[in-house]
């Protein structure tokens, strides 16, 4: 037996629910207070009463059970979820009606918008044009979505296709601001949708989209989408049996593992729980930071005359550097500090890092850490275990105790955005890959134009370097994919603007970058 299920989100949601019920929907996905309304589903009571009034047969609501569930939901919000809900998500935005985007994606949309806002304004500033405020950019985004949606074949504006359309629109605005062409940045997932790998689109593609695909050598897919994906369920089933994991009712745990492999492993290992507890602790501390507090006494640098003068290992230097980045926050006691430049906060994710990746001597090293309530860190790095404590941290310096030995490290940025770590006369140049390096986008924009190197490749938005497809000395041609930046939940291809030679690669794989960060330096081909 087939059932029609309809999910309704904000945008005249009550009227929409009535119309889809009249059209034959069997089930409506609703919410309940205090999570309902705003950018999410309408409350079940309202929808139930409306349908009953219109003559539909709908069951009564057990109000005692409803109130109990409502109280549990409120406690759920008070305990942790409320710390991570953007206040704007509690309000309906009529602007969504014209674009057709679902309200449920407004949280990630606003995060992506903020990530690209500064880059667009840096471009406008360098051109002597009026900079956009957030509302002006939001209106431009919705107008662009309305413009490109039919040209992309009217993909249904639900997950993930709404994300694809929004990303194309946002990157179009960025590229047009820079004087580039529309559709000059389309991520791989969106191309799969355009080419038919996600199924047949409801409408025809605009001729310029078809022509663009052909000019890039892309082939349209006419087969069944499922046939493009291998059947690997038995692999996950075998692993669950080996680990003695429960399959759950109707194999729901098996399918959860197969769909969200990384998250499921972290859940089973306990990493997800530890991260969650750290997220709550950080969110609560950040919430109290906004309240007025008494002015703290000026910090005094410790007496370092008794510190060890012996040479330190690379592991010790990387540990000191990692602890500095995790705790550095000006004029804040160590025990109340938190990472201030975590890129995931910038691009819309809320989490702390239990693993940091450090690039030293062209090699990525994973450092795992766990922090106790007493402020002691257990560090695992390259098979070595260290007990560490941050004794003092300020701008450009950190004092740590590593397995009972006190170390002082002076830390400064180099010209190319890496960090110089100086310990007992030893110099280490390293980079924390997952840490966003702040740059002045407007200065970089002006610098690139002044130097005549406008065909250099910059990150359009904050994100993570996912792939580097060239090496220094390679020749690239106009339209070649040079580097891939993972941002806005997509793999964004950064293409060469003209035939060039790769002079210098300024980033490493997994490195976090800000908008307008120089990725690859190109130079003209010498005749």
Mean pLDDT for all residues in the chain: 80
The DSSP secondary-structure symbol of 142 reads: H
Domain that holds residue 184: 96-227
Percent of the chain with pLDDT over 70: 81
- Asked if residue 29 belongs to a domain, the reply is yes
Regarding whether 222 and 239 lie in a shared domain, the answer is: no
CA distance 320 to 410: 10
Regarding whether 208 and 105 lie in a shared domain, the answer is: yes
Regarding whether 127 and 44 lie in a shared domain, the answer is: no
Taking every pair of C-alpha atoms in the chain, what is the biggest distance, in angstroms? Answer: 84
Confidence at residue 295, expressed as pLDDT on a 0 to 100 scale: 40
**Which residues lie across from 380 on neighbouring strands?**
368, 385
Confidence at residue 159, expressed as pLDDT on a 0 to 100 scale: 81
Side-chain-side CA neighbours of 186 within 13 Å: the count stands at 21
Token readout for 67 is: 């109130």
pLDDT for residue 105 is more than 90: no
Lowest pLDDT segment from 3-17, 167-181, 252-266 = 3-17
Return the beta strands (E) in 30-122 as ranges.
none
Between the CA of residue 520 and those of 52, 172, 335, 356, 451, what are the distances in Å? 62, 21, 39, 24, 15
Does 458 or 209 have the greater pLDDT score?
Answer: 209
Confidence at residue 92, expressed as pLDDT on a 0 to 100 scale: 62
- Asked if residue 84 belongs to a domain, the reply is no
Regarding whether 128 and 39 lie in a shared domain, the answer is: no
Which range of 11-15, 218-222, 294-298 scores highest in mean pLDDT? It is: 218-222
Length of the chain as a residue count: 527
- Asked if residue 298 belongs to a domain, the reply is no
Does 499 or 152 have the greater pLDDT score?
Answer: 152
Regarding whether 333 and 411 lie in a shared domain, the answer is: yes
- Asked if residue 172 belongs to a domain, the reply is yes
Count: domains in the chain = 5
pLDDT of 392-446, one tens digit each?
Answer: 888 888 999 999 999 999 988 876 678 889 998 899 999 887 665 544 444 444 4
- Asked if residue 423 belongs to a domain, the reply is yes
pLDDT for residue 91 is more than 70: no
CA distance 408 to 410: 7
Lowest pLDDT segment from 22-26, 105-109, 266-270 = 105-109
> Which among 212, 227, 242 is the end of a domain?
227
> Which among 383, 400, 432 is the end of a domain?
432
Confidence at residue 191, expressed as pLDDT on a 0 to 100 scale: 93
Kindly indicate the confidence band of residue 148, based on its pLDDT and cuts at 50, 70 and 90: very high
- Asked if residue 91 belongs to a domain, the reply is no
Does 51 or 281 have the greater pLDDT score?
Answer: 51
> Which among 375, 402, 432 is the end of a domain?
432
Confidence at residue 53, expressed as pLDDT on a 0 to 100 scale: 93
Q: For 239-267, what is the mean pLDDT?
A: 91
- The DSSP string of 219-235 is ----S-GGGGS---HHH
Confidence at residue 286, expressed as pLDDT on a 0 to 100 scale: 67
Report the SS3 class of residue 296: coil
- Asked if residue 201 belongs to a domain, the reply is yes
Side-chain-side CA neighbours of 4 within 13 Å: the count stands at 9
- Asked if residue 397 lies in contact with residue 473, where contact means CB atoms within 8 angstroms, the answer is no
Regarding whether 284 and 421 lie in a shared domain, the answer is: yes
- Asked if residue 177 belongs to a domain, the reply is yes
pLDDT of 210-235, one tens digit each?
Answer: 999 999 889 999 888 888 778 889 99
pLDDT for residue 151 is more than 80: yes
CATH value at residue 320: 3.30.700.30
Confidence at residue 316, expressed as pLDDT on a 0 to 100 scale: 94
Lowest pLDDT segment from 355-359, 413-417, 502-506 = 413-417
Confidence at residue 193, expressed as pLDDT on a 0 to 100 scale: 94
From 117, 111, 196, 86, select the one nearest 152 (Cα to Cα).
196
Count of beta carbons in the 10 Å neighbourhood of residue 330? 10
Token readout for 436 is: 């966003």
CA distance 237 to 257: 9
Kindly indicate the confidence band of residue 454, based on its pLDDT and cuts at 50, 70 and 90: low
Regarding whether 382 and 284 lie in a shared domain, the answer is: yes
Regarding whether 138 and 176 lie in a shared domain, the answer is: yes
Regarding whether 134 and 26 lie in a shared domain, the answer is: no
Regarding whether 518 and 424 lie in a shared domain, the answer is: no
pLDDT for residue 508 is more than 90: no
Regarding whether 353 and 251 lie in a shared domain, the answer is: no
Regarding whether 360 and 238 lie in a shared domain, the answer is: no
């Amino acid at each position: 037996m087939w059932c029609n299920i309809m999910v309704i989100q904000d945008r005249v949601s009550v009227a929409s629910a009535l119309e889809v019920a009249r059209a034959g929907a069997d089930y409506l996905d609703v919410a309940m207070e205090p999570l309902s309304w705003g950018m999410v589903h309408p409350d079940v009571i309202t929808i139930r009463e409306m349908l009953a009034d219109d003559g539909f047969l709908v069951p009564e609501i057990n109000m005692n059970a409803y109130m109990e569930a409502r109280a549990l939901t409120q406690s759920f919000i008070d305990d942790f979820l409320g710390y991570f809900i953007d206040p704007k998500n509690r309000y309906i935005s009529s602007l969504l009606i014209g674009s057709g985007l679902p309200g449920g994606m407004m949280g990630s949309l606003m995060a992506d918008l903020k990530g690209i806002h500064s880059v667009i304004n840096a471009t406008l500033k360098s051109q002597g044009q009026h900079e956009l405020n957030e509302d002006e950019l939001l209106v431009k985004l919705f107008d662009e979505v309305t413009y490109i949606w039919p040209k992309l074949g009217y993909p249904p504006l639900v997950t993930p296709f709404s994300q694809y359309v929004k990303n194309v629109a946002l990157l179009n605005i960025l590229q047009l601001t820079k004087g580039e062409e529309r559709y000059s940045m389309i991520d791989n997932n969106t191309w799969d949708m355009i080419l038919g790998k996600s199924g047949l689109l409801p409408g025809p593609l605009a001729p310029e989209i078809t022509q663009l695909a052909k000019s890039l050598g892309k082939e349209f897919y006419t087969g069944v989408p499922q046939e493009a994906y291998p059947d690997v369920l038995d692999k996950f089933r075998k692993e669950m049996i080996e680990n003695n994991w429960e399959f759950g009712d109707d194999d729901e745990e098996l399918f959860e593992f197969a769909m969200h492999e990384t998250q499921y492993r972290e859940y089973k290992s306990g990493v997800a729980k530890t991260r969650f507890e750290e997220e709550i602790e950080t969110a609560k501390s950040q919430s109290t930071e906004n309240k007025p507090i008494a002015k703290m006494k000026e910090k005094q640098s410790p007496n370092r005359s008794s510190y060890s003068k012996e040479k330190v290992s690379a592991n010790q230097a990387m540990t000191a550097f990692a602890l500095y980045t995790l705790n550095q926050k000006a004029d804040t006691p160590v025990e109340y500090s938190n990472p201030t430049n975590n890129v995931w906060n910038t691009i819309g994710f809320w989490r702390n890092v239990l693993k940091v990746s450090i690039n030293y001597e062209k090699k990525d090293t994973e450092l795992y850490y766990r922090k106790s309530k007493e402020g002691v860190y257990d560090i695992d790095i390259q098979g070595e275990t260290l007990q560490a404590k941050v004794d003092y941290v300020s701008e450009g310096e950190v004092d740590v105790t590593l397995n009972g030995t006190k170390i002082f490290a002076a830390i400064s940025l180099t010209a190319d955005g890496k960090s110089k770590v100086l310990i007992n006369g030893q110099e280490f140049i390293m980079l924390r890959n997952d840490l966003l390096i702040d740059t002045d986008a407007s200065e970089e924009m002006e610098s690139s134009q002044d130097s005549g190197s406008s065909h250099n490749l910059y990150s359009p938005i904050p994100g993570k370097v996912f792939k580097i497809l060239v090496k220094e000395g390679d020749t690239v041609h106009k339209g070649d994919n040079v580097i891939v930046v993972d941002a806005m939940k997509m793999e964004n291809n950064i293409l060469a603007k003209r035939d060039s030679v790769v002079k210098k690669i300024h980033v490493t794989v997994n490195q976090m970058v800000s908008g307008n960060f120089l990725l690859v330096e190109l130079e003209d081909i010498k005749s």
